[in-house]
Amino acid sequence: MLLFVTDKYVKIHNTDSSRKSIHTVLTLFQGVIMPLLIYVVLFNLKKIDVLQLSCYLKILAVYVVFFGSKYMLEKTIMIVFGLYPKLSPYIFERQTYINYFSILFFPLLLLLVFNSEYVEVLTYGVVILSVLLFLLAVALIISHHRKLFNEAPFYFILYLCTFEIAPYILACLWVRISC
């Protein structure tokens, strides 16, 4: 929970190469858990009629392709424009928050799957919590990297719209159409 209070974890572990493997494992965990959470939420909200493995695999594919390609594109842009030393802590912090959310949402996912009472209320609670945590993480990341945002505010406004908000909207539209 200290991740929301201080950025000390990110500053320490961003430079520690021995912790990168733990970060990679958490990213893989997040890559499986978050699509599963989306799948269960869509099922509980009656957006998906029947539980099917193929629908989960579609959501997983969209998640991995969208966010994997987004991450690779960001890394490529940072390297090409020589921004890697400046923006690497920002990308690491953002990925750390997403990994942290997957750990937080895992017990909620279990609760949604194995609890038959109040499942609709819990589902809406998870959706509201995820939106609030996302907004909190964006606000914290911006406050931690205020200097970068002040240097090029229009770039980061475009960046937030293109790389942070648009993939979520496009992924939701694609899953809604395909499942």
What is the predicted pLDDT for the residue at 11? 53
Q: What is the tens place of the pLDDT at every residue in 125-142?
A: 999 998 898 888 888 887
Q: How far is CA 16 from CA 13, 86, 92, in A?
A: 5, 16, 12
Coil, helix or strand at residue 153: helix
| Confidence (pTM) | 0.78
Short-list 179, 166, 156, 173, CA closest to 69? 166
Range of lowest pLDDT (26-35, 131-140, 161-170): 161-170
Q: What is the tens place of the pLDDT at every residue in 96-115?
A: 888 888 999 999 999 988 87
